[in-house]
Chain A
């Protein structure tokens, strides 16, 4: 399948899942999973970094508009996109230059877990602290971010493993 088409479809699917389903889900009052960041994580490693940043902004802004969060998602997602090449360098030999695409198939589960885990924690902690915007709720916000990250990472790995299995068959 055409690469651009594939990523465009993934953008719309993940944004819809986030806006229509996950924004309405409440898990024990604390937890908000955000899986739309999988779109940025799975962009090709050879894509120019500036383009990745701009796509991250577009994705974050879309989520912002639909959840009335006024720039919180945009800034957290752009920060994630900025750290993406650095984290990619951690989990691959030549900084990702040798990889054609990023996914469970290319990185295997343990490296993909590290990759998505670090990026997800960066994104979620930025997001929840920007949302709270005050330090006297430091501990509550910390727990919210941590629990939500655990759920988000599990959901992203689940989605990605289903997706990559289908392709290899």
Chain B
């Protein structure tokens, strides 16, 4: 027994090292475990409060630009409201409720970016909701606390968004390679699909996170190899400027449960 203690004492530094390292790697691997990641993320209440306080100060620097963007959006909405929708459109449009929120922590220079917003479960936000601005898709909500939520940005290796070309309706998957916050990559586009520089991409209705037709970006550059079935690379210029985000909308899909119930019958 004494030998055992002596052994532990002799290598105690190594054991402490292994213990802490395993804890840290465990956190990394368990990130999809909801309860845990909620505690260790910036949506928890005290870290959220600190970030919000800091954001209150830095907000003043961008007031002018934010005002201009909001005014532009107001004008757009005013114009749209002049054209009355048909009844059928109205039902479809009402499927989604918009919850506006402010970003209190933005990040776009890492490999995996997360944003923090100042609304949470008290305002009806849940895990897995789409987040957009008037320019296009921003990301998907992830951890939610009563007053805050984190958003997995489009600029994250775990985000895959299914898209379609406006012109041809062909399908593709948008992912981010971690190089520039202005460009993302489009995968799984078969080579017979006509692609031109400047083609617009929007969300399609396959997933139940985003409604159909939210803009994502335009094709900036593409490469094609005749020997392969898919395009080797398509670079997409993102329509959202991630370096300048202030206010976003979280989309609450009122018919999500109904759709999921129906689709689960097939499995």
Contacts and interface: CB of A to CB of B under 8 A. Distances in A.
B111 A131 contact: yes
A54 interface: yes
Interface string B2-29: 0000000000110011001101111110
B243 A54 contact: no
B17 A53 contact: yes
B133 interface: no
Q: Which has the most chain A C-beta neighbours within 10 Å: B17, B44, B106?
A: B17
Interface string A61-95: 10011111111101100110110000000000000
B25 A71 contact: yes
B62 to A, nearest CB: 12
Interface in B99-151: 105-112, 114, 116, 150
Nearest to A78: B20
A74 B243 contact: no
Number of chain A interface residues as a range: 35 or more
A133 B40 CA distance: 20
Given A57-B23, A78-B21, A67 B40 contact: no
Interface of B is mostly: mixed
B150 A78 contact: no
Interface in B239-256: 243
Contacts of A82: 13, 17
Contacts of A130: 28
Interface of A is mostly: helix
B239 to A, nearest CB: 18
Interface string B38-78: 00111010010011001000000000000000000000000
Given A49-B13, A131-B111, A140-B178, A75 B41 contact: no
Interface of B: 12-13, 16-17, 20-21, 23-28, 31, 37, 40-42, 44, 47, 50-51, 54, 105-112, 114, 116, 150, 157, 177-181, 243
